[in-house]
Structures are given as C-alpha cells and as structure tokens.
Amino acid sequence: MAQSRPMRADARRNYDRLLAAATEAFAEQGENASLDDIAKRAGVGSGTLYRHFPTRLALLEAAYVDRIEALGARADELAEELPPGEALTEWLYELGVATIRMRGMKALLGSAVADGSSAALTACGTAMKGAAARLVEAAQAEGTLRADLEPVELLRLGHGVTTASELANGQGRELRRYLTLLTEGLRPAG
C-alpha cells in the first residue's frame, strides 16, 4: 500500500526524521515517550508529527513494522529448521524476547492481537496472525498442539506469558520457563 502520490521532498525528509527519532525515543523510554520530545529530536514542529502520525499507535506501528514483518518471516524459517511443535515454541520465545527488548513494541503487538484491533494496525496484525496460523496449523497436523487452539489465542497467551515474565524480572530471564509452563501445562509432568 504505497502512497498514491510521492511525498513532497520536505515532507518525506520530515517523515523519515520523525521515524528515526521515534525509534530512538521508544527504545529509550518505552511506549510512552513524549511525542513533543520526539518532534524536537527530529527538529520538526509538533504539528508535523500529528500530520504524519495522527495517533501514538500509528507512530509505533510505523516505527516497528519492519521488525514485525521480520518476525513473521522468522516463523517460516523456524518452520523449515525445526519440527512444528518446537518451531512454534521457539517462535513464541523469540517474539517474547523482541517484545521485551524493544520497549515500545509491547503496546503495539498487544493492540494488534486485541479484539477490536484498530483497522490501522492491519500490517502488524496480519503479519503476526498469518505467521501464527501457519505454525499452529503445522503443529496441529503433527499432533503436538491442541486442535481447538486458534492462532490469535496463541498470540494473546504469548503476550500474557511475556507480561508474566516481565513481572519476574525486567529482562524476562524467566521467559523460557514460563513458556514451558504454558505449553506443558501446570499439571505434573507425565
């Protein structure tokens, strides 16, 4: 979905600067980084930020859409390297790690898999849901994943487990363990 008309040169330049500034700011300060500060970093009036990115979520999406699409592609790589069940857990792990590392991404991924997920988030949402669907289907065919699990449920639970691991430790050192608890269940190992 490219721009129907190319942007004016100054607009294009401001757009790029804003994106760079935003990526920096989100990485440093998380999803709530000051928008005004981002505009200042980009050397741009605050109104210009709003013109290009009417909502904070729009800016977050623009800042992370590449990474997210890379994560989608990563799912397919893993599917080739590993048996379906393992590919799925490994992907959830890498997804969680990315969510924790790139501090602004959590809100974005959350919104993308939320119920009324904003129509504007189609890019991230469909990338994630598509990747999840392929992994889920393969694992179900293999018989290592509950047949009644919806891809979006997997994403939401992954998000929740990541949240849980952040409670344990800002860096999510417990992420692997918590994912294991999810996949194996809380009942005794049998």
Partner DNA sequence: ACCTGAACACCGTTCAAGT
Question: SS3 of 2, please?
Answer: coil
Q: Which stretch binds a copy of itself (CB under 8 A): 21-29, 39-47, 49-57, 144-152?
A: 144-152
The identity of residue 27, as a single letter, is: A
Residue type, 176: R
Residue 123 Cβ vs a copy of itself, minimum distance, rounded to whole Å: 18
Does residue 14 belong to the site contacting DNA (CB under 7 A)? yes
- Asked if 111 touches DNA (CB under 7 A), the answer is no
Identify which range of 36-44, 77-85, 92-100, 141-149 contacts DNA by CB under 7 A.
36-44
| By CB under 8 A, residue 82 contacts a copy of itself | no
Q: Does the protein bind DNA through residue 16 (CB under 7 A)?
A: no
Name the one range near a copy of itself by CB under 8 A: 7-15, 47-55, 127-135, 170-178: 170-178
Q: Which of 85, 151, 147, 149 is nearest to 113 (CA)?
A: 151
60: exposed, middle or buried (Cβ count in 10 Å: 0-12, 13-18, 19+) = buried
The CB density around residue 25, as the number of other CB atoms within 10 Å, is 23
Other Cβ atoms less than 10 A from the Cβ of 120: the count is 14
Q: Which does 14 bind (CB under 5 to 8 A by kind): DNA, a copy of itself, none?
A: DNA
SS3 179: helix
Question: What is the rounded CA–CA span in Å between residue 175 and residue 180?
Answer: 9
Would you give the DSSP letter of residue 24? H
User: Least distance (Å) from DNA to the CB of residue 5?
Assistant: 7
d(CA 35, CA 50): 9
Tell me whether residue 47 or residue 190 sits nearer to DNA (CB atom): 47
Does residue 31 interact with DNA by CB under 7 A? no
Smallest distance, Å, CB 32 to a copy of itself?
A: 11
The one-letter code for the residue type at 120 is: A
Write out the residues near a copy of itself by the rule CB under 8 A: 110, 113-115, 143-147, 149, 152-154, 156-157, 159-165, 167-170, 174, 178, 181-190
Write out the residues near DNA by the rule CB under 7 A: 7-8, 10-11, 14-15, 32, 34-37, 43-48, 50-52, 55-56
